[in-house]
Structure 1
Amino acid sequence: MIERKLMMVERIMYVDTETPLNCVFAAKINGEIAERHLRRALAKIQRKHPLLRSVIQMADAQQPHFVVQEDMESIPLVIFSRQTDMDWLAESEREWYRPFKADSKPLAQLVWIKGDSNSELLWVLPHCVCDGTSIVTLMRELLYLLDNPDKELEPYQLFESVNDFLPQSFELRKKSRKAKFYLLLARFFFFLQRKSRKRNQGKNYAMHWKLDAETTAAITQGCKAQGITVHALLCTAFMQAFREVQGKAAKNKVISPVDIRHFIPEIKQDHMFAFAPTVELSLKKGNDNIMGNAKDIKRALTQKIEKMEARELLWMGEQMHPLVERMISMLKSSPGGHDLTLSNMGKLQIPNEYNNFTLETIYSPTVAFPWLNSNTLVTTTFNQQMDFTFMSNEDFLPKEEAIKIKDTAIAFMTLPL
C-alpha cells in the first residue's frame, strides 16, 4: 500500500474532517457527448493520477495521510438537466461544500450539466490535492479522451516525501538549525497573538465576468507597449480599486501564487500537485499612477521570483507541522494584511476545436475559502477572452461592495489603454 503524509500546505487546505474546501472548474461544450465515453475517460484519468485513487486517513489526531487504494471506486459522474446558462455557477457554489470523507470513494467528482446541444462539465476536487495547473490538466485530459476514446494516458507514481525534491547539495544540518530557529520564532509569534472567536457568518458568493476579445487584445497589447505584464496590471488595478472603494481600510497588498513547476521540473506539468508558493506584492501609498505602479509591481515580482528557493520552501514547510492547527485557526479568525489573493492562470493551453464537439468557453475556477479573509480573484484567458471569478463572503466583503471594486478595477485596467 502506497501512502504519504500530507505536506504542510496540503494539511492547511485539508482544514479538518468537517470542513470542505473544494475547487470547481467548469467548461462549456457545444455538441453531443456520449455518457459511456465520459465514464471511460474518467477511468483512464483515474488510472493515471494516484491522488485520484487515494483517500485521506488520519494516522493520528494531527497527521492525515494520503493512502492509495488500487481497488478504489470509480470517479462519480453526476448528471443534471441543463435549464439556464448560469446553472454552472449555481452548481459550482453547491459543490464547494461537498464532503470527500468516504474511505472507498475518490477525491474527485465530475458534474455533467446536460443540455440538448450545450453542456457544462465541472471538475470538483478538494484543494488539498490540486492547484490551478492540476485542474486544468484534468480538463484537458478529459476533453482529449472524449474526442479520442481509444487513447491512453501514462500513469506515474505518488512521490513519497518532499525529500524526493531535494538536491544532493542540500545542507540538511545547516537547514535544520535554520528551521528550528524559524519554528521557535513562529511559536513566539503565535504566543503573542490574541485568540479571536471571530468567524465569517455570512454567505459565500462568486461573481463571474468576461472581457470580450477586443478589450482583451487592447489590454495585452497595451501592456506590451508599456513594458509591463498583464499580471502586474491586474495586481495594480485591483489594489487601487480596493483603495478607491475602501479608503484607509484598504491594505494595498495582494498575495499571488506561483506555479511551483517553474522551479522544480521533477513535478511535471501534467502531474497533480497542490503546493503553490506565494509572493506578496504591495502598492506604494500616495501614488495613483496606474502604469507607474504596474512597473513597480512587475519589478518587485521579478525580483521575488528570482530569489525564491522553492525546494527549501517545501522542506521548511514540513518542519512547521507542529503549528498547523494554529495557522488554520489564525486564517479563520484574522482579517490578514492583504486585500485579496490574486491567481492569474494566464492563457490556458486547451484546444477549442475537436472532431466531435467544440469547446465554447472555459470559466475560471471557483473556491470558497473558510478563512475570515476569503477574498480571491482567479483569472484565465481562453479563446482570446479574459475570464474572471471573484469569491468572498458577505460578512467580510459585502457583494455590493465587491461589485464596486470589480467595476473600478476594470476601469483602471482599460482607461489608460
Structure 2
Amino acid sequence: MMRKLTTIEQLIDGNITYRLTLDGSLSIERLRAALDRVQRKHPALRMLLREESDGLYYALDAAGPVPLRVAICTSEQVLAGEIAREEAAAFAPDEPLLRVAWLRTGRGGVLLITTVHRICDGMSILTLARELLAATHRETPLLPYAPISPLDIAGPPGGPGEGKRRMIAAVINGLVSLIPASRRPLRHDSLWREWHVDAGLTAVLKHRCRAEQVSMHAALLAILDQALQAALGKQAPTRIDNPFDARRGRLAQLKDDMLFFGGGSFKIEVGRERGGDLWERARDIYREMSGKIEQELQDIPGKYRFCEMLRPPSEGKLRSIVRLGDALSRNGNWNQFSFSNLGPIELLDADAPFRLEDFTLSVRSFGIRPLGLIAFALHGRLRFVFMGEEQCMSTAQVDALERVFIGLLREQATQRRREVEPEVALAAD
C-alpha cells in the first residue's frame, strides 16, 4: 500500500541524530531484538520512501529490519570519525527511515539513533530512545497502532475561511511557478556548538524562576531575545519560533507514545518592548504562552488543510527559494530563529544495567536552512545545542551569541544569589 507525502512532509527534508553515551554493558543480541520490537510497534518505522513520477510516496509495511551497525572505537579520534560518518549519511531509498549505530568504547559506548525528520520530531526520538533502551532489559509490552498522517489532523473541506485560504494558496502557487529552478547544489556549511552551565547555576536559575513566577522556558526566551539583540544588532532575527509537543492530550489524534514529525509552534517578536527589565519580559511571555499555544492548537487543522492547497516546489525551485532567502533576509532563514526545549532528559529505568553518561543531538538539513537553539537538562545541568549554517550566521556571531547568552544567564541568576542559595558557586563551563 502506498501513501503520497503531504506538502508539509515533502518540505521537511533532513535527518536528526541523537547521541547517547552509555556507561555499562549493552548486549548486541538484546539491542537487535529491542529494535525489532520497537519497529513492530511504530508504523513509520516500517515505511520506505519511494519517488514516483508525480512525487514522493511512502510504501507502508514495506521496510526490512532497522539497520544496526556496530563498530569498536579504540580512540577518541576513531569515535569522532564514526559519529561524523553516521550523522552525515543520507538514507538510501531501500532503507527503513531509522538506523542505529552502537560504537563500543572502553567503558561502554555511544548509541546513535538517526531518523528522518519527516517521521520524527525531537520528542518522538526521545520516545524511541526510551522504548529501545527499556526493551533491551525488560519485556514491557509495546502495543502497535494504526498509521497516522497530517491528513488525519487536517480540517475537513469547506470549513470556515476555505475560500480565503484557496485564494491565498492560488497566489502563492502562482508566485512559486514563476521562480526558476536551480541545478546548482546548495552549500550547507554546518555550524554546531554546545553550551553548558553547571548544576549550581541551574539550581539558582530554577529557584529564581519560581520566585519570579515564570516557567524556565519563558525565562530562557526572554534571555535569548535580549542576547540576540545584543550579539547581532541589526542582524538579529525578527522573531523566535517555539515548537511545542502536540501530544500530551493537546491533539486528540496524537497519543503520547506515537511518532510524528511535529506539533505546533508559537512565535514571539524579537526586541518588542515588554517592560522595564528582563523578568518583566519573561512574565509577559509566560502570560502569553498558554493563549498562543491554545490558539495554535485550534489553528493546526486549518493550517494542515491550507498546506495541502499548496503545490510542493521541485528540488530545483526549493534551491532557488533558499538562495532568495539568503539574499533577502538578514540570516538566511527568513529572519527567524528557532528555540526548542526538550526538558529533562530521563531515558532510563532505575533497574537499567547501564547509565546515561552524556546526551546530545544534531540535525542535518538537505533543503531549508536550520537555525536555532535546543535546550535540555541532563544530570541537573542546563545545556544548549546551537545548530545552524554559516550561510545564516558566521562563527564570530555564534561565539558572540554564546558569550552574551551565558553571561545573561549568569547575571540574572546571580542578582539574587545571596537571597536564594548563597552557598552555591556559580560558573559557566
Give the TM interval when normalised to the shorter protein.
0.7 to 0.9
State the SS of the aligned residue for 1:153.
Answer: coil
Change (3 A) 1:194 1:355: closer
Conserved 8 A contact 1:48-1:155: yes
Change (3 A) 1:331 1:343: farther
State the SS of the aligned residue for 2:152.
Answer: helix
State the SS of the aligned residue for 1:312.
Answer: helix
> How much has 1:357 moved relative to structure 2?
1.6
- 1:296 aligned to 273, 284, 287, which one? 284
- 1:48 aligned to 37, 41, 44, which one? 41
* CA offset digits 1:262-298 (Å, max 9, x no partner): 5312211111111332222113357783212222322
- 2:240 aligned to 234, 254, 279, which one? 254
Aligned to 1:10: 9
Change (3 A) 1:89 1:386: farther
Decide which moves more: 244-253 or 288-297: 288-297
Q: Does 1:317 align with 2:307?
A: yes
Q: Does 1:271 align with 2:270?
A: no
Q: Does 1:79 align with 2:70?
A: yes
Decide which moves more: 403-412 or 75-84: 75-84
In 1, distance between residues paired with 2:399 and 2:307? 36
Change (3 A) 1:311 1:189: same
Conserved 8 A contact 2:23-2:355: yes
Change (3 A) 1:137 1:305: same
Q: Does 1:181 align with 2:177?
A: no
> How much has 1:199 moved relative to structure 2?
8.2
In 2, distance between residues paired with 1:269 and 1:318? 26
In 2, distance between residues paired with 1:383 and 1:200? 39
- Give the unaligned 5+ runs of structure 2: 326-331, 414-429
Counterpart code for 1:241: A
Aligned to 1:154: 143
In 2, distance between residues paired with 1:135 and 1:86? 27
State the SS of the aligned residue for 1:321.
Answer: coil
Superposed counterparts of 1:112-261, under 5 Å: 112-148=102-138, 150-159=139-148, 161-165=149-153, 172-187=158-173, 190=176, 201=187, 203-261=189-247
Counterpart code for 1:284: G
> How much has 1:323 moved relative to structure 2?
5.3
Q: Does 1:369 align with 2:368?
A: no
Counterpart code for 2:146: Q
State the SS of the aligned residue for 1:172.
Answer: coil
> How much has 1:121 moved relative to structure 2?
0.7
> How much has 1:372 moved relative to structure 2?
6.4
Conserved 8 A contact 1:22-1:127: yes
- 2:295 aligned to 304, 307, 322, which one? 307
> How much has 1:336 moved relative to structure 2?
3.5
Conserved 8 A contact 1:283-1:297: no
Q: TM-score normalised to the size of structure 1? A: 0.86
Change (3 A) 1:135 1:86: farther
Change (3 A) 1:209 1:322: closer
In 2, distance between residues paired with 1:395 and 1:255? 19
Conserved 8 A contact 2:169-2:306: no
* CA offset digits 1:166-210 (Å, max 9, x no partner): 67xx57354532331231343466579899999864621311233
Aligned to 1:385: 381
State the SS of the aligned residue for 2:263.
Answer: coil
Counterpart code for 2:20: A
Aligned to 1:17: none
Conserved 8 A contact 1:352-1:359: no
* CA offset digits 1:221-264 (Å, max 9, x no partner): 21121122211222222232221122112124211112122531
Change (3 A) 1:373 1:98: closer
RMSD: 3.0
> How much has 1:46 moved relative to structure 2?
1.0
Change (3 A) 1:222 1:304: same
> How much has 1:95 moved relative to structure 2?
3.1
Conserved 8 A contact 2:173-2:310: no
- 2:30 aligned to 32, 37, 46, which one? 37
State the SS of the aligned residue for 2:280.
Answer: helix
Counterpart code for 2:308: E
In 2, distance between residues paired with 1:37 and 1:313? 42
In 2, distance between residues paired with 1:295 and 1:77? 47
Conserved 8 A contact 1:200-1:393: no
Conserved 8 A contact 1:381-1:387: yes
Decide which moves more: 234-243 or 267-276: 234-243
- Give the unaligned 5+ runs of structure 1: 15-20
Q: TM-score normalised to the size of structure 2? A: 0.83
State the SS of the aligned residue for 2:111.
Answer: strand
> How much has 1:317 moved relative to structure 2?
2.0
Change (3 A) 1:303 1:191: farther
Change (3 A) 1:340 1:174: closer
In 1, distance between residues paired with 2:368 and 2:205? 33
Aligned to 2:424: none
Change (3 A) 1:370 1:240: farther
